[in-house]
A and B are shown apart, each in its own frame.
Chain A
Amino acid sequence: MKIVAICGAGIGTSEILRVNAVRALERLDIEAEVTATDVASVGSAAADAQVILTSPELVGAIGRTNADIVVIQNYFDLDEITAKLEVAVG
């Protein structure tokens, strides 16, 4: 399982999302590699990813992908992140 968290610059917000996704996956007892990157690199970074985590604003910039795109509104809401990841990977 490979999960990529995306933000505009690849620092900061995607890292927040990565950290909280790791916590959510621990809750779900799911093994996954979670990385953070910027939206410009998403084509290569997410080429073999099953899930892309991002914010509503960035969905349009991601382009074509085979991964499930999971949209997170509140990056600090572990309940939201856990519930959406459970749907995506369950």
Chain B
Amino acid sequence: MSLPLPSLDHLPDPAIALKATATDWRSAVRAAASALSAAGYAEESYGDRMIALVEEYGPYIVIAPGLAMAHARPGADVHAPGLALVTLASPVSFGHAHNDPVSVVIGLAATEADQHVASIAALANVFNDESIVPALAAAASRDEIRRLLGAASRADLS
């Protein structure tokens, strides 16, 4: 069965963590895993697999200035497709040549490899606006995060 990812402007409260304290990139990725776990999408151990992907291939998950999209392959530790968003109290370096430091971490969990098309297209809409990462990083409430994501995901930027 193919479940859709939840839409960006309806991220549940546990899937959003504001001003998380991370001392390095691994703890930033673990914070995203904790949010995915709190929302019921994945086990905490999914964070180990997200970290392993970076250890294997490098910090390519830092896909835009200030933004990391932590993820791993589908697995037994993923219960449902989901997204989580974590803002960091202090930005951390992932060792990326162009896009460090990171202040916003998206956690992505999928149960099937081809599951994400609609929500990923919406994510692309959101982050094609380069002002969104600093705005998210500065957001003071979960509602503000949802409002920013929702407004941007509906904008026609194509």
Contact = CB atoms under 8 A, between A and B. Distances in A.
A58 B54 CA distance: 11
Which of under 10, 10 to 19, 20 to 34, or 35 or more describes the interface residues of A? 20 to 34
Interface of A: 7-13, 15-17, 19-20, 23, 26, 38-39, 54-58, 61, 73-78
Given A19-B120, A26-B158, A73-B98, A57 B113 contact: no
B64 A12 contact: no
B69 interface: yes
B155 to A, nearest CB: 13
B6 interface: no
Contacts of A54: 60
Contacts, number: 87
B58 interface: yes
12 contacts: A9-B53, A9-B71, A11-B74, A12-B71, A13-B60, A15-B116, A16-B63, A16-B127, A56-B97, A58-B60, A73-B98, A77-B130
B72 A9 contact: yes
